Amino acid sequence: MRNEAHVSYASGPSDIPLLGMTIGEMLDAAVHRHPDREALVESATGRRWTFTQLREQVDRLALGLLALGVQKGDRVGIWSPNCAEWIFTQYATARIGAILVNVNPAYRTSEVEYVIRQSGMRLMVSATTFRTTDYAGMLAEVGFEDVVFIGTPQWGGLLEQGRTADPAALDDCAAGLTFDQAINIQYTSGTTGFPKGATLSHHNILNNGYFVGVGAGYTPEDRVCVPVPLYHCFGMVMGVLGAHVHGACVVLPAPVFDAEKTLEAVHHERCTSLYGVPTMFIAELAHPRFAEFDLTSLRTGIMAGSPCPVEVMERVMELMHMPEVAICYGMTETSPVSTMTARDDDVAARTQTIGRVMPFVEVKIVDEEGLVVPRGVPGEFCTRGYSVMLGYWDDPEKTAEAIDAGRWMHTGDIATMDENGRLNIVGRTKDMILRGGENIYPREIEEFLYRHPDIGDVQVIGVPDDRYGEEVMAWIVMRPGAEPLTAEAVREYATGKLAHFKIPRYVHIVESFPMTVTGKVRKVEMREMAVEILAR
């Protein structure tokens, strides 16, 4: 019999039970316990809501959606930068059992059209415009008309319908809901060229947010600054649900990340916790007005999305007054967090590992044959438990590729587990590019660039970048007779059609790609060559 202490397997015991409730029931419980406590603040606009006022807004919107004919199981999209209305929609759809479809605010026409079609979207809640992005124009371009635009008379009319509707309809909805039902679809870039819709339940995301909050030590006294996108699990699960289930307040500093507004929000709202990917913390520390802000209210926070350099972690803990800041690892398909560092971990543990397994979650490291490897030996990181998604929306084939017969989620990440059960990510089995916290799969960009009339073949790789961790580079073989494309020309072609973070920063024109003897492209060799090319 093998000793578990010597194999790369760990489970997360806990004296705290899982929550067996829907998201709507959680909100009701929070209102019952903390009716007059602040639940939500938009620091840039000054708008704020207590838990009681938040539920009033949520219920009005939920009843308005019912009046529009939205039913349990219908897919309702949300396409907007961070705002209070995003959160109202998150809760209102959960209240009536509709499935919220998170749409990345950076998406452009081809991407949003695919998500609308693939999810079978019944209705979209959308911003009209933001900065240079014309959401209304893009929806008109793709021909989708079932839209409610935030901040317009249409939105006000929907809330008014809800105000005058019979609230008993919400009780009828609640009676027909269970916590294992699908409540959310979040699209992740796919290696096949198209995003896959990770389908998550009340149980998935509510419990994950709950235990992230437990790990951070949240109480009703906490005020959590959330500058990360709500469309991602980091914002809507670890942020919104992770705070509210513990009676804490969510503070939104700006529609999109802004270092100065984030620092202002912490200062003026006396936030105790701050979220971000490492590049966000780097930008805050480097801001010319950094010393003007009083950050002494901070105690904790969460970094996720990419590894944090030691010197950055040390400065965050000292200069930003965050001695308990945690590192979390996960993926959308696991709701998202599978491992987390502890509040009393040292700097080495927070910068050289991704912590230990979360409560009620199992993790194992396996070799190519699926056998658990000894501790210290690298292999594929797999995880199992309440947090694993229901599957990819309407895609049983891709679901079966990701989740095996034992319900283990295969992450595609290469990891090691040390003698203390701490894990470390050392590589990726897939070719995913991790740029500033955004997961980018090359195949999606390749599929798009193949449409260019002058491109004969294309391969996309990630190359090292000091600011974002990785940047996107396209290696292109031109069609016979075509003039070589510049990086500027490729960016111009992709602008407005691909999300900005997916557009290649670098372009390298070649006659052919390095290949194996079996005809496979050697992307590892391409990356090595790219580092030399960019260093010239």
Do 496 and 404 lie in one domain? The reply is no
Q: What is the pLDDT of residue 3?
A: 56
User: Predicted confidence band at 215 (pLDDT cuts at 50, 70, 90)?
Assistant: very high
Share of the chain above pLDDT 90, in %: 83
486: containing domain: 433-535
Average pLDDT, stretch 69-85?
A: 98
Q: What is the mean pLDDT of residues 214-231?
A: 97
pLDDT band at 297 (very low <50, low <70, confident <90, very high): very high
Pairwise pLDDT comparison (522 vs 145), residue with the higher score: 145
Confidence of residue 312 (pLDDT cuts 50, 70, 90): confident
- Is the domain of 409 the same as that of 477? no
Q: Is residue 480 part of a domain?
A: yes
Residue 282 lies in a domain: yes
As a residue count, the chain comes to 536
H/E element, 171: helix 168-175
Strand order of the β-sheet with 223-225 is 47-50, 38-42, 249-252, 223-225, 273-276, 300-303, 326-330, 337-340, 356-357
Q: Which residues sit opposite 38 in a β-bridge?
A: 50
Give the model's confidence band at 308: pLDDT under 50 very low, under 70 low, under 90 confident, else very high: confident
Task: Provide the pLDDT for residue 523.
Answer: 85
**384-394 mean pLDDT:** 98
d(CA 395, CA 297): 46
Residue 48, classed as helix, strand or coil, is: strand
For residue 206, give both structure tokens: 């509510």
Does some domain include residue 242? yes
Q: Are 99 and 193 in a shared domain?
A: yes
Q: Given a cut of 70, is residue 2 above it in pLDDT? A: no
Question: Which residue's structure tokens are 């229901």?
Answer: 390
- In this predicted structure, the answer to whether residue 82 has a pLDDT above a threshold of 90 is yes
The reported pLDDT for the residue numbered 518 is 46
3-state secondary structure 321-343: CCCCCEEEEECHHHCCEEEECCC
Statement to judge: residues 253 and 174 lie in one domain: yes
Between 110 and 251, the more confident residue is 251
Residue that wins the pLDDT comparison between 447 and 285: 285
pLDDT at 17 over 50: yes
Domain-terminating residue out of 387, 416, 445: 416
Better pLDDT: 207 or 352: 207
Say whether both 363 and 476 belong to one domain.
no
pLDDT in tens, 476-516: 999 889 999 999 999 999 999 999 999 999 999 999 999 75
* Interval 30-65: pLDDT, tens: 999 999 999 999 999 999 999 999 999 999 999 999
Helices (H), 403-473: 442-449
| pLDDT tier for residue 471 given thresholds of 50, 70 and 90 | very high
Does residue 423 lie within any of the structural domains?
no
Give the pLDDT score at 1.
38
For residue 175, count other CB atoms closer than 10 A to its CB: 7
- CA angle, corner 145, sides to 143 and 148, nearest 5? 140
Residue 511 placed within a domain: yes
My answer on whether 412 and 441 are in the same domain is no
The predicted structure's pLDDT at residue 428: 67
User: Token pair for residue 468?
Assistant: 């974002």
pLDDT digits (tens, 9 = 90+) for 130-161: 999 999 999 999 999 999 999 999 999 999 99
Judge if 223 and 355 occupy the same domain: yes
Does residue 4 form part of some domain?
no
Mean pLDDT of the chain, nearest integer: 94
Q: pLDDT, tens digit, for every residue of 275-287?
A: 998 889 988 999 9
For residue 527, the Cα-to-chain-centroid distance in whole angstroms is 26
Report whether pLDDT(121) > 70: yes
Q: What is the rounded distance in angstroms from the CA atom of residue 106 to the CA atom of residue 116?
A: 15
Q: Could you give the CA distance from residue 240 to residue 224 in angstroms, rounded to a whole number?
A: 9
For range 322-333, the mean pLDDT: 95
60 in Cβ contact with 109 (< 8 Å): no
Question: Does one domain contain both 329 and 476?
Answer: no
Residue 52 half-sphere exposure toward CB, CA atoms < 13 A: 6
Asked if 282 and 226 sit in the same domain, the reply is yes
227 with 329, same domain?
yes
- Boundary residue ending a domain (381, 416, 451): 416
Q: What is the pLDDT of residue 431?
A: 74
Domain count, the chain: 2
Q: Residue range 317-333: average pLDDT?
A: 96
**Per-residue confidence (pLDDT) for residue 193, from 0 to 100:** 57
Q: Is residue 503 part of a domain?
A: yes
Same domain, 382 and 454: no
Backbone φ and ψ for 403, nearest 5 degrees, come out as -115, 120
Q: What's the CATH number where 394 sits?
A: 3.40.50.12780
Domain holding 459: CATH number? 3.30.300.30
Is the model's pLDDT at 120 over the cut of 80?
Answer: yes
Amino acid, res. 230: L
At 524 the pLDDT is 83
Whether the per-residue pLDDT at 402 is higher than 70: the answer is yes
Report yes or no on 18 lying in a domain.
no
Indicate if 443 and 408 belong to the same structural domain: no
Question: Residue 329 to residues 151, 356, 436, 450: CA-CA distances in angstroms?
Answer: 35, 10, 14, 33
